[in-house]
Structure 1
Amino acid sequence: MKFFVDTGNIADITRLHALGIVDGVTTNPSLMAKESRKPHEILKEICDLVQGPVSGEVVATDYEGMMREGRELREISEHIIVKVPFTPAGVQACKTLTEEGTRVNVTLVFSAAQALIAAKVGAYFVSPFVGRLDDIGHDGMDLIEDIVEIYDNYEFSTQVLVASTRGPLHIIQAAKLGADICTCPPAVLDALFKHPLTDIGLERFLKDWEKAQQK
């Protein structure tokens, strides 16, 4: 499974990328609005750093606007993935951009039917939001299981990019179901490293070593 970091913060991306676990980056308008620089400048810097897929999202809601913004985004870097929302206009833009050779991430997906449509128009990534489904009393992982099964049935090339992950359990469940990618906030990736027995074991090793040195 690939790990993407879901942020527009260069410091967090740099820190996590140095560990060797970041395969790509996803951004959205909300994340980019938190930063103090122009979105295109940030996206270019992220692409240069990560050298992997970097999703930059359109903010237009109409087909023509999505096409204009998508074409502008793809000029930033060869690593840019144009991100569009799952709407009729977004689906249409995905189809056209894909036919032009642009890789597209269809986001805000909450049902298997939506994921099926996104795959049919050639989406490179589909982003189902598991955490937000959990928030309203649905099991987001049921959706991942359905999408993976459907894509396998018909050999779609669209990759399942699990989004809105809230903790390590989401990542492990997605990996067991065969999802291609999890995109995670920096804090969730940090949490993957943590286990109390690791901390206890390291502390014990160091104390034993200190005692051995005093002999």
Structure 2
Amino acid sequence: MKFFIDTANLDQIKEAKDLGILDGVTTNPSLMAKEGISGTDNILNHYRAICEIVDGDVSAEVISTDFAGMVEEGMRLADLAPNIVVKVPMIKDGIKAINYFTEHSIPTNCTLVFSSGQAILAAKAGATYLSPFVGRVDDINWDGMALIREIAEIYAIQGFDTQILAASIRNSKHIVDAAKAGADVVTCPLSAILGLLKHPLTDLGLEQFLADHAKANK
């Protein structure tokens, strides 16, 4: 399973890369704003900066909601770097845009996915990645991981190549659950990834090893 970090923070991206586990980045206008980045030129330059750090795919989101606008924005984003993936919302014109980008060999990430029916449409249109928002599904008292499992089953039966990118990951357990459910990728905050490192028995074991070493070297 691939690990993407969901952020626009360059320091966090560098930290994840230094861990040796970073496969890509997803970001969006909200995450850009969180870092104080606004204005078209500044946003485009920030995408370039991210792509200079990351070897893997970098999802860059369109703002338009009409076909022509999404195509225009997406082509501009795709020209920024060879590893840009154009992130497109799961709406009617979004599916049309994904099909257009697919025909022009531009990778896409279909975002804001909440059902298996939407997942089928995105795969039919040729989306490179599909982003089901598991945390938001949980928020409305449904099972986000059950959605991942169902999409994975459908894709396996139908032979779709679209990769399932589990999004809206809230914690470390979500990462493990997404891996078990069949996600090809998870995108999450750095804190959720770092949380996988932690276990009380690891801390106790290390403490004991260091104590024993200190005794042996008195």
The alignment's TM-score, normalised by the length of structure 2, stands at 0.96
Partner letter of residue 134 of structure 1? D
Partner letter of residue 110 of structure 2? V
User: Does 1:130 pair with 2:134?
Assistant: yes
User: Does 1:22 pair with 2:26?
Assistant: no
Distance in 2, matches of 1:186 and 1:110, equals: 24
Matched residues, number: 214
Counterpart selection for 1:54 from 33, 41, 58: 58
Q: Residue 115 of structure 1 aligns with which residue?
A: 119
Q: Residue 13 of structure 1 aligns with which residue?
A: 13
> What is the percentage of aligned positions where both structures have the same residue?
52
The runs of 4+ residues in structure 1 deviating greater than 4 Å are none
User: Does 1:157 pair with 2:151?
Assistant: no
Q: Kindly indicate whether the alpha-carbon contact (under 8 Å) linking 2:7 and 2:31 is maintained by their aligned counterparts in 1.
A: yes
Partner letter of residue 22 of structure 1? L
Counterpart selection for 2:203 from 177, 199, 203: 199
Q: For structure 1, which segment, 187-196 or 123-132, has the greater mean C-alpha deviation from structure 2 after superposition?
A: 187-196
User: How far 1:116 moved relative to its partner?
Assistant: 0.4
Q: Deviations over 1:46-101 (max 9, x none)?
A: 11111110000001111111011000000010000000100011111111011111
The secondary structure found in structure 1 opposite 2:80 is coil
Q: Residue 71 of structure 2 aligns with which residue?
A: 67
Counterpart selection for 2:144 from 135, 140, 144: 140
User: Does 1:173 pair with 2:180?
Assistant: no
Distance in 1, matches of 2:50 and 2:208, equals: 40
User: How far 1:16 moved relative to its partner?
Assistant: 1.1
Q: For structure 1, which segment, 28-37 or 118-127, has the greater mean C-alpha deviation from structure 2 after superposition?
A: 28-37
Counterpart selection for 1:45 from 29, 45, 49: 49
Distance in 2, matches of 1:43 and 1:206, equals: 44
Counterpart selection for 2:90 from 86, 89, 108: 86
Distance in 1, matches of 2:203 and 2:73, equals: 47
Distance in 2, matches of 1:131 and 1:178, equals: 16
Counterpart selection for 1:186 from 183, 190, 195: 190
Distance in 1, matches of 2:137 and 2:180, equals: 19
Q: Kindly indicate whether the alpha-carbon contact (under 8 Å) linking 2:146 and 2:181 is maintained by their aligned counterparts in 1.
A: no
User: How far 1:137 moved relative to its partner?
Assistant: 0.3
Unpaired stretches in structure 1, ≥5 consecutive residues: none
User: How far 1:43 moved relative to its partner?
Assistant: 1.2
User: How far 1:3 moved relative to its partner?
Assistant: 0.4
Distance in 1, matches of 2:36 and 2:182, equals: 37
Supply the RMSD in Å over aligned alpha carbons.
0.8
Unpaired stretches in structure 2, ≥5 consecutive residues: none
User: How far 1:29 moved relative to its partner?
Assistant: 1.2
